[in-house]
Structure 1
């Protein structure tokens, strides 16, 4: 099954922690080759919903479909092989490795030698061309042979995104990609996400409303674990309920 127009679908997705229902009957449809943002005030349930969608948490009820296939009980590693890959709020690059080495490691999965630690470095030479392409794509050529620890915070997040797209995902899930970034780095990351989204689908959780307005085709607004509104930025930003619940909360911008 291909899933048709919608690549990722949540149906009546719920998650309870004891007596607290963090996510309640959420229906979400992510259209293929679009950028879809999941937003909401603190405590809205967006992080829980995102963790459910990315399979890092199991729902209490409901189901999740990827390309029409039920992945509700599928492990994250298996979902990655199916073409859905996520990033995390905290940078996860290897600081002691160079930028090139980080990309070479990320590309090992394609070779099927991820756990062959006894093989020589030359075993990875076949991925050099693609690694260099990715480094150029994200604008890190000047840092190729420098340890990742020497990159700025924005540079580390850029490298992390490069290692994520090294897996050639069909759908990319980004967990607050702008978190902790300076304004200059934010502009660069916005441009980068726009470029790498070509031919891919992106679902992201993001607090920065300017970024959401700039990048998103569709926005889903959560409040108290439920969908409050959905549509374009223009539509949701003019929704009185959204203005009350989210837009007026300056701490979330």
Structure 2
């Protein structure tokens, strides 16, 4: 791989997924530059989540290749891909409801320690992770709920907690599937700041419908329509592209 290719942490070429004759994703070429925030956007049904599922190998492509850090991963399993440094969040909040907020973060932190999967151990050995867990919770204003059951949080705060646990895994590349979904207006700015903070030294690929968030956060934007790449560039470039404007709202500005 030449030096120019090394600039890209994730590359998909000719990526396609067919379901009973219907292409949800067709011939997608995507290159995510290292240490940037890259957005994947498009109208409903454009294939964004299917593309995410392919990139993280939750789905296997009908055609095409996926290269992460110079290694083909299209035939790998999701756990191996996560272990290699590519971790994703999901549209639907997924937390351990009966555990406290702090314990949820601690489980994610445990993944990187010698106590990985050792759930039968005395929980006191995990208290060394509490300071880091509280630091992460403080970043997004969840400290006051640290000892509350995660199931008692509002939907928006559960989304924030899920994002924190994703970041706690310290991946090289984070795929965020609509991180602002369900958040109240007061929650969006702190989460944006957190994404900016954690993006330093790593890479973020995100699906997001909030165009203000995309405009403020993202270095590069890829627009999908009907499972194919419609346009790519900076937000300023794609938001004034007539094809993108038509795809979104039939003539109104993105």
Work out whether the TM-score is over 0.5: yes
Under a length normalisation based on structure 2, what TM-score does the superposition of the two structures give?
0.93
2:131 is matched with which residue: 129, 132, 153? 129
CA distance in 2, matches of 1:143, 1:249: 44
CA contact 1:85–1:171 (8 Å) conserved in 2: yes
Post-superposition CA distance 1:138-163 (Å, at most 9, x none): 32222222222232222211111111
CA distance in 2, matches of 1:210, 1:128: 34
Please report the RMSD computed on the Cα atoms of aligned residues, expressed in angstroms. Answer: 1.8
- Find out whether 1:20 has 2:28 as its counterpart: no
**Structure 2 SS opposite 1:221:** strand
Structure 1 residue 247: deviation in Å? Answer: 4.7
CA contact 1:86–1:175 (8 Å) conserved in 2: yes
Structure 1 residue 113: deviation in Å? Answer: 3.0
- Change in Cα spacing, 1:171 to 1:249, as seen in structure 2 (3 Å) is farther
Structure 1 residue 134: deviation in Å? Answer: 1.7
Between 1:93-102 and 1:214-223, the stretch displaced more is 93-102
Structure 2: gaps spanning 5 or more residues: none
Residue matched to 2:170: 168
Number of residue pairs aligned between Structure 1 and Structure 2? 251
CA distance in 2, matches of 1:213, 1:222: 17
Post-superposition CA distance 1:34-79 (Å, at most 9, x none): 1111011122111111111121111001000001111111111011
Residue matched to 1:67: 69
Residue matched to 2:107: 105
**Structure 2 SS opposite 1:110:** coil
CA distance in 2, matches of 1:249, 1:154: 32
CA contact 1:237–1:247 (8 Å) conserved in 2: no
CA distance in 1, matches of 2:47, 2:152: 35
**Structure 2 SS opposite 1:111:** coil
Structure 1: gaps spanning 5 or more residues: none
Structure 1 residue 249: deviation in Å? Answer: 8.1
Between 1:204-213 and 1:225-234, the stretch displaced more is 204-213
CA contact 1:41–1:249 (8 Å) conserved in 2: no
CA distance in 1, matches of 2:64, 2:187: 38
Structure 1 residue 115: deviation in Å? Answer: 2.9
Structure 1 residue 30: deviation in Å? Answer: 0.4
CA distance in 1, matches of 2:250, 2:236: 15
Post-superposition CA distance 1:98-151 (Å, at most 9, x none): 111111111221124343232111121232232222222332222222222232
